[in-house]
Amino acid sequence: MTDIDSDFVHLARLALEGKSADVATLVRRTLRGLMRRRPDLSDSAKRVLAFADSNIVRGFQEQTIPVDVDSRQELLRRDEETTLPVEPIWPSQVGIELAGVIRERERSEQLAAAGLLPTRSMLFTGPPGVGKTLAARWLSRELRLPLLTLNLSAVMSSFLGRTGNNIRVVLDYAAKSPALLLLDEFDAVAKRRDDSAEIGELKRLVTVLVQAIDEWPSNSLLVAATNHPELLDPAVWRRFDQTIEFPLPTQPEIAKNIEALIGSGQSDLQSAVDVLSQLLVGASFSDVSQHITRARRDSLMSETPLGDELMQLAGRIAQNAPLPMKVGIAAELQRQGYSQRKVSEVTGLSRDTIRKHTVEGGAA
């Protein structure tokens, strides 16, 4: 058979088996080869490529969510529309890279015309609570893609061979229609294959994942997130189109996050925001959110001003802060007009210590 005949037979088999993602991959590959052999058909082939990336699998959108054979638990959660409690505050480089993914999708037709694909797979790394899962949800909302989130507890089966099958079923389901698939705690299923503490099942999982990442359709996005990138198999690392490292937030980013949580335009709370943003350096966005949400809740329940609750929160956190930080905060509070008594309450420093250090530092 000629190459075109062979491709047609392969295409027919994949279509009849319902493997829509594989159909899309074969169509794209065949069209690119055709463009090289038949320049006169290049423009038409480019238009079909653009169409294929956005439409070829729409007929498979209505699918039953897969379940574990034994527990009957759903293997993933599907959210048709993604909402966020607050607008995220991204570290500068993270924001630039996420915005770049959005721009690629907005210009997907131009990329297709040039024989290029948008980012199809991403790996998010960083400590807990820095916004990796939130970033996936944000991308889902901005790209208007359903969010599919892996149910790790349901997928990880105690039965030998079942976990690999569950992962394969999830990947097949997610690839059949445009969606964002989030694989959170990715290190649980993509560990190094030389980990002697693990059985051969993990090796099979890595092989399945590597193949899926390589063949992921360009009208969908696969996002994996991990707190422990050092545990990942190197073969998996290399397959992702893009890796984004999420650092702990800086003081200005923490301040913006606090302002977003308490609501903008509350100038009377600025002192509390300034103090807390200093004290919370080294905390994650999640930790900051928990602290501020607790203060807001306490303010409502006790019917006390939010500013007072935030200052009490600052006082509790300051108890474990190093002396130089306490002194710096004391000086800043005095510059803002707080009495030495109030400064002492917030920082835990004695008035004599406050006077001594602020006078020596030229703040008195």
More confident residue, 103 or 164: 103
pLDDT band for 23, please (50, 70, 90 cuts).
confident
Number of structural domains (the chain) is 3
102 and 224 in a single domain? The answer is yes
Q: Is residue 325 part of a domain?
A: yes
Q: Does residue 177 sit in helix, strand or coil? A: coil
The predicted model gives 188-193 an average pLDDT of 65
Q: Quickly list H helices, the chain.
A: 3-16, 20-37, 42-55, 92-106, 108-113, 132-143, 152-155, 162-175, 200-214, 234-237, 251-262, 270-279, 285-302, 306-318, 323-335, 340-347, 351-360
Residue 144's pLDDT is 94
Looking up residue 198, the CATH number of its domain turns out to be 3.40.50.300
Identify the domain boundary among 224, 245, 266.
245
Q: Is residue 353 part of a domain?
A: yes
Structural domain boundaries enclosing 44? 3-56
How open is the CA angle 318-278-91, to the nearest 5 degrees?
140
186 and 311 in a single domain? The answer is no
Lowest average pLDDT, out of 66-70, 128-132, 157-161, 309-313, goes to 157-161
Residue 321's pLDDT is 77
For residue 55, pLDDT over 70 is answered with no
Each residue of 280-338: pLDDT tens digit?
Answer: 999 999 999 999 999 999 999 999 999 889 988 888 888 777 887 778 777 777 777 77
Q: Is residue 333 part of a domain?
A: yes
Residue 103's pLDDT is 97
The mean pLDDT of the chain is 82
CA-to-CA distance for 83 and 80, rounded, in angstroms? 10
Q: Is residue 70 part of a domain?
A: no
Each residue of 246-283: pLDDT tens digit?
Answer: 999 999 999 999 998 988 666 678 888 988 998 899 99
What is the distance in angstroms between the CA of the first residue and the CA of the last residue of the chain?
90
User: What proportion of the chain, given as a percentage, has pLDDT over 70?
Assistant: 85
211 and 98 in a single domain? The answer is yes
pLDDT band for 60, please (50, 70, 90 cuts).
very low
Q: Is residue 69 part of a domain?
A: no
Identify the domain boundary among 199, 214, 245.
245
Q: Is residue 233 part of a domain?
A: yes
What is the DSSP annotation of 197-240?
Answer: TS-HHHHHHHHHHHHHHHT--TTSEEEEEES-GGGB-HHHHTT-
Q: Is residue 189 part of a domain?
A: yes
Residue 362's pLDDT is 44
For residue 2, pLDDT over 70 is answered with no
Q: Give the global pTM.
A: 0.74
Q: Is residue 67 part of a domain?
A: no
41 and 84 in a single domain? The answer is no
pLDDT band for 363, please (50, 70, 90 cuts).
very low
306 and 223 in a single domain? The answer is no
